[in-house]
Amino acid sequence: MKILMYSDVHYAPGSRDSRKLTAYALPLIDRLKEIEKEKTYDLVVNLGDLVEDFGDHERDLKNVRFIYDYVKTFKAKHVSLLGNHDIKCLFTRQEMLEYCGNDKASYSFDCCGYHFVVLGTFIYEGDKVVRTQYVSDDDLVWLKNDLADNKLPVIVLTHYGLFPEDMTGSYWFASNPIKAYMMKYDEVRDVLKNHHVLACFNGHQHWTRVNEVEGLPFYTCGSLTENINGDGKPDAVYFEVDINDDKVDIVIKNIRMEG
């Protein structure tokens, strides 16, 4: 199967952030749609943070609705994880359902003979959404049961990383590396390493990395709009993922924008 994968768009019309070049959000998504037309993909995945929150609930919800509708026009099935900035925009279970079409933090689906596991980082207190940086205890139980019932090779999708990578040199996390990865990562990995996991993908860190930890391969996809070199140009990075049987090939690409 073939997957087009990207992350951390941070759609935010009116933002003046010099590091997150949000003005490029829609043009870059448009380029990804053009790339998709040129090739055949079975799945398109966003690894989280489609939006950048402003702390203005009405404005944030408007942006969430717009960008979620915008990515629905990819030809292939589109899966969008909820990143920490997305969750800041959504206050209730009803908003999760209405704006994102799903009210679960963690869930799974099968595609082309593979089992995809999405692990999210929020809980509910009553109807209220509470943003966390960990997979809840209930979702850990769900994960164990889900994988116990599964017979297919597994692909794991998260927003936060699943191990404490060295953040030296990171613009966002060098001074506070604990914000870069998921809490309870060891508990999650203890479950995953007992199953046939082919790859784990995450976003959030705004740089691109490939690692292997305890036999599990981890791929971190950088931000589509990150001004990564400080030169006013977006990183515009995306993955082309090709999975054949148990072999996973990742091609890291960058969109070249004119002008």
The pLDDT tens digits of the residues spanning 246-258 come to: 999 999 999 987 6
Domain ranges for the chain, please list them.
2-254
Bridge partner residues of 129 (DSSP): 124
Statement: 2-254 belongs to CATH 3.60.21.10: yes
Report residue 11 as tokens: 């759609």
DSSP β-ladder status, 107-111 and 122-125? unpaired
CB 95 within 8 A of CB 115: no
Taking CA atoms, 75 is separated from 37, 91, 100, 149, in Å, by 8, 30, 18, 30
Mean pLDDT in residue range 127-140: 96
Tens digit of pLDDT for each residue in 146-176? 999 999 999 999 999 999 999 999 999 999 9
Reported as a single tens digit per residue, the pLDDT across 37-53 is 999 999 999 999 999 99
Q: Is a pLDDT exceeding 70 seen at residue 212?
A: yes
